[in-house]
Structure 1
Amino acid sequence: MKVSNFFAGLAAGLAAGTITAILTAPKSGEELRGSIKSSGTEWKQSMNELKARITELKESINHLTEESKAQVPEAMDGLKASLQSWQEGTAPAKEHLQLEIQAIQNSIEQLQATISKDKDDEEKKPERPTAIDPKKADNNKNSETA
């Protein structure tokens, strides 16, 4: 809301209040004029105080704006520098981790190849009974010849 609109509304309200007060006043004319005069003086003082506070508020806002214009870029520069130094500090660790991950992947691939080769070798082997018990081995020989 614009300040001029505020004051225009305030003035219109004062005028309407004054007229209403005059028309409904239970006082005599002389008392009413004195009352209106003192009310007008009080309102004038109140408006001057309000105007001074608004001026102080504007000055405060302008001051904060100026400070933020100076401090925000400094803070951003500091953050950028911190981020860059952190990245530089973690770069060796990052490279080391990438090498470790690559080594683990290679080991996994070798294990998979070995397991696959072992499975293929097992599938190609003919099944031969192992003769642990000589009696069973003799029985197996007899059953094979029969």
Structure 2
Amino acid sequence: MKASTFFIGLVTGVVAGTATVLFSTPQSGSDLRSNFKTASSDWKEKLSEVKFQISDLKESIAGLSKEAKTKVPQTIDDLKESVQEWQTKTGPIQENLQTEITSIQMALEELEKSLAKNQKDTSPAI
């Protein structure tokens, strides 16, 4: 639902409710006309205030949208640059870690072979 449709419905409902209250209240014709004029001028003022606030809101949304269109792509570019910089800085560290892991795996394999050889040498012949 569009906001303008909602506000038109809201204003229409308020005007109809006000008219119903004014016409259903027992009072003389001159009092009714006086109250109606007062109520209608009050509602005109309130309606113009609502219109002003809506136009102000539209301007704020337009400004925010324009700012988002410029800031979001810049932020994305900055993030991409930061990720690339991080990858560049951590690349050598990752290579060193991989080398260390490989060395540890080889040392473990040699230790397992050595332990297996020791067990064969020390096991009693049956």
- By the TM > 0.5 criterion, same fold? yes
Q: Residue 42 of structure 1 aligns with which residue? A: 42
* Cα deviation code 1:61-110 (max 9, x no counterpart): 11101101110110111111011111101111111111111011100000
Q: Greater relative contact order (Cα 8 A, min sep 6): structure 1 or 2?
A: 2
Tell me the secondary structure at the aligned position of residue 101 of structure 1: helix
Q: Residue 102 of structure 1 aligns with which residue? A: 102
* Cα deviation code 1:94-129 (max 9, x no counterpart): 111111110111000000000000101112558xxx
Q: How high is the sequence identity, in percent, across the aligned residues?
A: 36
Q: Residue 30 of structure 2 aligns with which residue? A: 30
TM-score, normalised relative to structure 2: 0.89
* Cα deviation code 1:15-70 (max 9, x no counterpart): 24313322323x32112211210110110110011011011101101110110111
**Is structure 2 residue 105 aligned with structure 1 residue 92?**
no
Tell me the secondary structure at the aligned position of residue 74 of structure 1: helix
**Misfit runs of 4+, over 3 Å:** none
Count of residues in Structure 1 that have an aligned counterpart in Structure 2? 125
**AA paired with 1:111?**
L
Q: Residue 21 of structure 2 aligns with which residue? A: 20
Q: Residue 12 of structure 2 aligns with which residue? A: 11
**AA paired with 1:18?**
A
**AA paired with 1:23?**
S
User: Which aligned pairs between 1:54-133 and structure 2 lie closer than 5 A?
Assistant: 54-123=54-123
Alpha-carbon distance in 1 for matches of 2:83, 2:21: 68
**Which shows bigger deviation, 108-117 or 4-13?**
4-13
**AA paired with 1:80?**
K
| Structure 1: gaps (5+ residues) | 127-146
TM-score, normalised relative to structure 1: 0.78
**AA paired with 1:59?**
E
